[in-house]
Amino acid sequence: MAGRILVVEDDQTLREVLKYNLSKEGHEVLTAEDGIQALERARSHKPDLVILDIMLPRLSGDEVCRILRAETTVPIMMLTAKTDEVDKVVALELGADDYVTKPFSMRELLARIRAMLRRGDMAKGEIIAGETPPPPIKIADLDIDPSRRVVSRRGLNIDLTRMEFALLEFLARNRGQVFTRDRLLERVWGYDYAGDTRTVDVHIRWLRQKIEIDPAHPRHILTVRGVGYKFEA
């Protein structure tokens, strides 16, 4: 599944390696070497995916991520050499869909990119001719419409990112079932490789902030201690 990918990396060698491997996969690859250039190219070329290094000249990757997320729902994969847990969570809090820590396996990175592009295509809500649209979901005062990618409460739309919507839809369709974080990474993010489960935790927290009346005491998205999460009606 080919797409247009923007690679933002100030290390020229790594930037060229990424471009070469992504091009071999059939992707159209754009590159940027600093944060300002990244924003310019993202706005002018509308990529399907952004691979974004955190440590960038002129404008940090964190700031680029924050700005892009305010302007678009494009999937963002952060690359970081930082090992501090806080730095990784900050990237997710700013709106990244996931991150990979350097040094990384090219095979794993390419697999994650394929999964993110596949999820991005699904998020466009396009229905194949002859295919039955997924039915809407109504739970209490929440209405989830997968065909339009819309969530609302009592007629008021709730703004969700692509991954937030995908996670909510999956949990709501399988309400009452308990899922481990690894299982959610596999089923929602589409990863064949193990990802970092903090990605799931941060997205769960975002969802609670947006759909729960009292996020500190959620009614729908519940934590099953020592196991994972489940959705209750």
pLDDT, tens digit, for every residue of 91-148? 788 888 888 888 888 988 898 898 888 876 555 544 434 456 678 899 888 999 988 8
| Average pLDDT of the segment spanning 136-161 | 88
pLDDT for position 115: 85
First to last CA, the chain: 36
Sign of CA dihedral 159, 161, 166, 168: negative
Do 19 and 118 have their domain in common?
Answer: yes
Is residue 128 domain-resident? no
Most confident region among 62-66, 87-91, 119-123 by mean pLDDT: 62-66
- Cα gap 18→9, rounded to integer Å: 9
Both 164 and 97 in one domain: the answer is no
Q: Look up the pTM and report it.
A: 0.75
Residue 194 pLDDT greater than 80, yes or no? no
Give the count of domains, the chain: 2
Same domain? For 89 and 54 the reply is: yes
Give the domain extent around 88: 4-123
Round to whole Å and give the CA distance between 226 and 206. 20
The domain boundary, picked from 97, 123, 149, lies at 123
